[in-house]
Amino acid sequence: MSIAGSGGRVQPARPGDPSRIGPYRIIGRLGSGGMGTVHAGLAADGLRVAVKVIHPAQAEDPEFRARFRREVQLSARVQGPCLVPLLAADPEAVAPWLATAYAPGPTLNQHLAEHGPLGGGTLYAFATGTAQALASIHEAGVVHRDVKPQNVILTPAGPRVLDFGIARAADGTSVTRTGVMTGTPGWISPEYYRTSTAGPQGDMFAWGALVAYAATGRLPFGTGAPDAVAFRVMAGDPDLDGVPEELREILRRALAKDPSDRMSAVSAAEECSLLLASQATQVLSGGGGLEPTRVGELLTAEWNIPTLDDPTWHAPASRSRRRAMTTVLVAAAVFGGIAGGVLAFPTSGNSSGEDTTTAGRTTVGRTTAYPATGANGTAQRSEAAEPGGATETPVDPRRARVPADPLAEVPNPAFTRAGDESQPTSDEWSTSTVASTSEEKGVEKAIREQMTSMLATKDMDFMEPKVTFNRRAQTVMVTGGPISQIPEDHQEVFRRAGEMAACTALAHRLKDNPTTWPYGRFSVSWKLFDGDTEVSILGFGEATDGCYGEIAGQWQGDESGMATAEIPSSDRDEIRVADATDKAVIAAWNARIAEGHGLEPFATNDAIALGFDPVEKAAYVWARDPDGALMGRAQRANFQDAVSKTVCRNLTAEYNSNKTWNYTRWSVAVYEGNSRTPELIGSGECIR
């Protein structure tokens, strides 16, 4: 769990989150993992900080608390360029915590996925800065042990190396448990695979792989099963094609199989700084390299990463129980009316179904007409009897409702943890077991089938979930992985699909058997490698008060659904409908422009696009608007109205003619200017 940054996205605080930690005012969350929660905080002078608080279960473990105390001591040792400084800590508190300066920006993985490889001066600045960071770490007598793309943030001021969560002092005092393999496959040195030896040379091997990845967008030892990657690391040559020639030789020495043949971090920083200076066409004096101040100036001058747009940092954080992205949504026109103003909404589709009320908005109870199957994988029946006392009648399975309050008026339910906000622990995950009863097997089948159906539309059904049960924790665990170097957007889709499938399956089972079915909580986790004992918790929640989110009775799209919709579909029906609907939306918008409503055309012919989110069963339409054609409220209201009418017409026609079609929701977004963050301006349902 990286503490210092999350791409600028402040998630809503959750019930029970502190308002202050030490001297810092807490305004939201930056993330959560198996060991703790990272909160977004502000110092008295306005400095942004990331505060990592250890989970209570770990805090009660004397061994874990000792390791955390050692982590604080190691982090306090390390000071230097391109690092994130430790600001404060209290390892003896009831809930131990530490705080670092906040580092805004994407991880290297995120940047490469959106913008491609680094080049020119930016690449040399990246190589120089990360090598300098490791030199400072090693000089302090510490070994990082987890150098990888997820632990490097590309801030506007340069790269920042993060996370000493599994660091080790050079004297051998470890922050991690003895005998537990640490590190991430693909970023582990040959000697660590062979002997579990982790020294500064191992960090340099990972640094060589990191810089090669930054230069090419490819992993130097390829992808695939962890064992296959390990074999290439130990016996194969790195793929350095595409790395600039002058940098290639430096990386070859860093990636040597024999640790004694590798260059030190100091040497790597010096040689890369010379390349950086050469890129800047500076004339060097003497042969002793550059002064640190001079290197810092060159690094800043040659660094070319877009300044992060993070509008949510100072916004009041709304509450949500689900670990997901949030965004500032500009509410323009909703189906049947216009609502102006800027509102901070949580991610919709809240799998926990939490009802919250904050300034300016009310979240009400959830109901939905999806999914098609219940807890046992079969079509559900209508909840209401026919007039005159007739028995229940079958309904279109696409209209079967997920119970919004499955335990309503149940005096003694078997599930007793409703409203429990605590995150499932790794121990609860590791002690969960495979389905043993027919009811558990039915729920497992339903979850797997729903997830496979969702993931298959994005060609992601290779991510097969494992479903296990912890009766004592009353929690169903959905686990993915290990899959080497899976893109983060794929893992996010897995999380969303797992939460929705588990929530709906459990809601049906709670409704059908409230006094005997004990499971109401769910957790979605990810294993990095086989034998992993501390999985990453991607998301969790409970099914006792609904699985879909609504704002004032209206379904709302969100940035997570939007991100999923932007992933190309592999389903033929979706591709066909998307193409036809996209063309129809463009035609409808052009017709409105021609009618003379004061509307302006977009800058390019391909500004409007459409995609599908299989988790929320929604079509998303977005427009890229660099020239401000949709700047005003009237323009946005016109665009939202044209989109909603056109999309609903096409979705409804497909729904009526294709019994397998279940997309009946829509959402509209705008990318204003050069922003990478969409503003959602309207959402709704075509069929309720």
pLDDT value at 168 more than 50: no
State the pLDDT confidence band at 570, using cuts at 50, 70 and 90: confident
* Interacting residues of 144 by C-beta distance below 8 A, sequence separation 6+: 134, 137, 161, 164, 167, 203
| Token code pair at residue 366 | 């959830």
Top mean-pLDDT range of 108-117, 264-273, 329-338, 544-553? 264-273
Q: Is residue 430 exposed (0-12), middle (13-18) or buried (19+ Cβ within 10 Å)? A: middle
DSSP state, 174?
B
Q: Among 545-549, 570-574, 645-649, name the one with the lowest average pLDDT.
A: 545-549
pLDDT value at 555 more than 90: no
Average pLDDT, the chain: 78
What's the average model confidence in pLDDT over 320-338?
29
State the pLDDT confidence band at 150, using cuts at 50, 70 and 90: confident
- The C-alpha atoms of residue 413 and residue 378 are separated, in whole angstroms, by 24
What's the average model confidence in pLDDT over 420-440?
91
Query: String of b and e for 140-158 (b: at least 16 CB within 10 Å)?
Result: bebbbbbbbbbbbbbbebb
- Per-residue pLDDT, 400: 80
State the pLDDT confidence band at 597, using cuts at 50, 70 and 90: confident
pLDDT, greater one: 221 or 304:
221
State the pLDDT confidence band at 326, using cuts at 50, 70 and 90: very low
Top mean-pLDDT range of 45-54, 275-284, 288-297? 45-54
- Per-residue pLDDT, 182: 44
Relative orientation angle of helices 633-657 and 572-594, to the nearest 10 degrees: 140
Q: Is residue 643 exposed (0-12), middle (13-18) or buried (19+ Cβ within 10 Å)? A: buried
Q: Give the helix, strand, coil percentages of the chain, each rounded to 5.
A: 35, 20, 45
* Residues 50/41, Cβ–Cβ less than 8 Å: yes
pTM of the model as a whole: 0.49
Top mean-pLDDT range of 55-69, 74-88, 270-284, 470-484? 470-484
What percent of the chain shows pLDDT beyond 70? 78
- Per-residue pLDDT, 267: 96
Top mean-pLDDT range of 350-364, 468-482, 537-551? 468-482
State the pLDDT confidence band at 511, using cuts at 50, 70 and 90: very high
- The C-alpha atoms of residue 26 and residue 40 are separated, in whole angstroms, by 6
* Residues 74/139, Cβ–Cβ less than 8 Å: no
Instruction: Count CB atoms within 10 A of the CB of residue 280.
Output: 15
| Token code pair at residue 306 | 């877009």
pLDDT value at 278 more than 90: no
C-alpha distance from residue 204 to each of 37, 154, 520, 578, 637 (Å): 29, 19, 46, 47, 55
Task: Kindly list the domain boundaries of the chain, sorted by start residue.
Answer: 63-86+104-302, 327-366+556-685, 397-547
pLDDT value at 309 more than 70: no
- Per-residue pLDDT, 386: 37
CATH fold label, 63-86+104-302: Transferase(Phosphotransferase); domain 1 (1.10.510)
- The C-alpha atoms of residue 511 and residue 513 are separated, in whole angstroms, by 6
Q: Among 48-52, 512-516, 544-548, name the one with the lowest average pLDDT.
A: 544-548
- The C-alpha atoms of residue 505 and residue 661 are separated, in whole angstroms, by 20
Top mean-pLDDT range of 55-64, 246-255, 423-432, 664-673? 246-255
pLDDT value at 617 more than 90: yes
Q: Among 53-57, 270-274, 308-312, name the one with the lowest average pLDDT.
A: 308-312
pLDDT value at 645 more than 90: yes
